[in-house]
Amino acid sequence: MAKPKRFDVVVIGTGSVMETVELMLRDNPKLRVAVIDKDTPGGICLTRGCIPSKILLYSADLVRLIEGASEFGLDVKIEGVRFEHIMNRMRSMIGSEINAIREGLSKSPNIRFYNQPAEFVEPYVLRVGGELITSDMIFLGAGSKPHIPQIAGLDEAGYLTSDSMLELKSKPDSLIIVGGGYIAAEYAHFFSAMGTDVTIVGRNPRLLPDEEPEVSALAARMLSKHLKVVTNTEVFRVERLNPRRKRVYARDRSTGAERVFEAAEVLIAAGRAPTTDILHPERSGVEVDSQGWIRVNEFLQTTQRNIWALGDATGGYMFKHRANYDALILYYNAWLGRRVKVDYSAVPHAVFTHPEVASVGLKESEAVKKYGEDKVLVGVERYQDTAKGEAMGVRDCFAKIIVHEDTMKVLGAHIIGPYASTLIQEVVNVMSTPGANLNVLLDSMHIHPALSEVVQRAAGSLASVQEYHHILEHHYGLTTQ
| Half-sphere exposure for 280 (CA within 13 Å, toward CB) | 14
pLDDT digits (tens, 9 = 90+) for 141-151: 999 999 999 99
Q: Among residues of the chain, what percentage have pLDDT more than 70? A: 99
Q: What's residue 1's pLDDT? A: 65
Q: If you average pLDDT over residues 372-389, what whole number do you get?
A: 98
Using alpha carbons, select from 266, 121, 103, 110 the residue that is nearest to residue 196: 266
**What class does CATH assign to 154-270?**
alpha beta
Give the pLDDT band (50/70/90) at residue 479.
confident
What size, in residues, is the chain? 481
Tell me if domain 154-270 and domain 355-475 are identical in fold: no
Output the CATH code of domain 355-475.
3.30.390.30
For Cα atoms 127, 129, 131, give the angle at the middle one, nearest 5 degrees: 55
pLDDT digits (tens, 9 = 90+) for 93-105: 999 999 999 999 9
Mean pLDDT over the full length of the chain: 97
Alpha carbon of residue 233 to chain centroid: 23
Alpha carbon of residue 62 to chain centroid: 22
Give the three-class secondary structure for 9. Answer: strand
Give buried/exposed letters for 156-192 (b at 16+ CB in 10 A, else e): ebebbbbeebbeeeebbebbbbbbbbbbbbbbbbbbb
Q: What's residue 475's pLDDT? A: 85
Which residues, other chains included, contact 276 with Cβ-Cβ below 8 Å and sequence gap of 6+? 142, 282, 288, 292, 293, 294, 313
Q: What's residue 141's pLDDT? A: 97
pLDDT digits (tens, 9 = 90+) for 172-205: 999 999 999 999 999 999 999 999 999 999 999 9
d(CA 107, CA 44): 22
State pTM to two decimals.
0.96
Parse the chain into domains and list their residue ranges: 5-144+273-335, 154-270, 355-475
d(CA 190, CA 192): 6
d(CA 84, CA 164): 15
pLDDT digits (tens, 9 = 90+) for 317-338: 999 999 999 999 999 999 999 9
Res 82 pLDDT > 90: yes
Residue 466 is inside which H or E element, if any? helix 465-470
Residue 258 is inside which H or E element, if any? strand 258-263
For Cα atoms 451, 455, 458, give the angle at the middle one, nearest 5 degrees: 130
Superfamily of domain 5-144+273-335: FAD/NAD(P)-binding domain (3.50.50.60)
In 62-124, DSSP assigns E strands to: 111-114, 118-122
